[in-house]
Amino acid sequence: MKVTGGDKKVFVGMSGGVDSSVAAALLKEAGYDVTGVFIRVWKPDFIECAKTDDESMARRTAAHLGIPFLVFDFAEEYKREVVDYMVREYKAGRTPNPDVMCNKHIKFGLFLQKAREMGADFIATGHYARKSEIRNPKSKISYLLHTAKDKNKDQSYFLWTLGQEQLRRTLFPVGGMEKSEVRKLAKKFGLPNAERRDSQGLCFVGEFPMREFLRHFIPLRRGDVLNEAGEVVGHHDGAFYLTIGQRHGFILTKKTPHDEPHYVVGKDAKANTVTVSARTPEMPGSVSEVALENEHFISGAIPGADKTYRVRYRYRQPLVEAGIKKQGLGISVCFKASQSGVAPGQSLVIYDKNGEECLGGGIIR
């Protein structure tokens, strides 16, 4: 890192993974007064693989680095703000993004608040994202959120709810690095988790299938799979479990071995039916405009409506061009080319025309 910490105190959210561990090591090397913090979240007792050694690994890493180690227990708040929200959205037939809510309410909400109460100047995480600051003519500083150097690991999509105060008090030490660089640094620092593989699942479900998780909250209910003409061509175990664009999770009973793959292009949660179609260039169910709710912009101001932006409505999805249209107190996003697989409840995140700066986003209505 190019900056030095001086006597600045920083609490690092240490998950037990290599990214946050390297973040802590870099901050200590840069001269910060570093404290490692493991955040305990709600864990379902019906998932064996949810019982991980993350906390003990984070503790071992902190000991290796010679930094204090704390545990913040936010299990109750996590269950309420993230898990209950997710189940509620699925029951309503929408497709939520719990990782966005985890960042909003837990990591950059409760964690930041408690760290500040305990005297920390900053918090830091292992997120792959970057920030910068600009100073206006009146010397007021504004903070910008940028995509990571490693575009394959970029996590700015999950950070669109951050505001000026959160960015002012947050450090992203690995955001300007490639993942391969982070792995090399982990070995250089001799970290006990240097070879540990990355987690691929939600932060409380792990790699447990989402459908298996949800069935503990939403009972299975067999329903019909329809084609575009409204004819019954198969069945499924619940429209709640399926999302627009999904290829699996339903059974087609009227098909031939030569049929093309079919995708969910519509669903009716009340009737418990889903509509499927083979993917085509202009896939049924594609849209040219979506309205947003709960929109938030990092600068505090809605971007201009006379510009072209780049957006994504799924994590890792390639950015697509779009414009913004103000609608009453809210906004709509108008795609330059019609898009398929757009699911209500998901986050749509807006970037500048170069796709480098994350401007904010909203929830698809």
> How would residue 3 be classed by pLDDT, with cut points 50, 70 and 90?
low
Does residue 140 have a pLDDT over 80? yes
pLDDT at residue number 188: 97
**Mean pLDDT on 40-46:** 86
- The top-level CATH class assigned to 219-278 is mainly beta
Q: Are 182 and 174 in contact (CB under 8 A)?
A: yes
Does residue 50 have a pLDDT over 70? no
pLDDT at residue number 79: 95
**Mean pLDDT on 3-29:** 91
Going from N- to C-terminal start, the domains of the chain cover 9-188, 219-278, 287-364
State pLDDT tens for residues 74-119.
Answer: 999 999 999 999 999 998 889 999 999 999 999 999 999 999 999 9
Regarding the domain with residue range 9-188, which homologous superfamily does it belong to in the CATH classification? HUPs (3.40.50.620)
Residue 210 burial class via C-beta count within 10 angstroms: exposed 0-12, middle 13-18, buried 19 and up: middle
| Residue positions annotated with a catalytic role | 102, 203
- Name the least confident of 43-47, 145-149, 181-185, 246-250: 43-47
**Mean pLDDT on 154-180:** 97
> How would residue 283 be classed by pLDDT, with cut points 50, 70 and 90?
low
**Mean pLDDT on 230-243:** 90
CATH fold group of domain 287-364: Elongation Factor Tu (Ef-tu); domain 3 (2.40.30)
> How would residue 260 be classed by pLDDT, with cut points 50, 70 and 90?
confident
Is 0.95 surpassed by the pTM of this model?
Answer: no
> How would residue 281 be classed by pLDDT, with cut points 50, 70 and 90?
very low
Residues 303-309: contacts with CB under 8 Å, at least 24 apart: 303/350, 303/359, 303/360, 307/353, 308/336, 308/353, 309/350, 309/351, 309/352, 309/353, 309/359
For strand 129-135 and strand 262-268, is the pairing parallel, antiparallel, or unpaired?
A: unpaired
Query: What is the percent of the chain with per-residue pLDDT over 90, rounded to a whole number?
Result: 68
Rounded mean pLDDT of the chain?
90
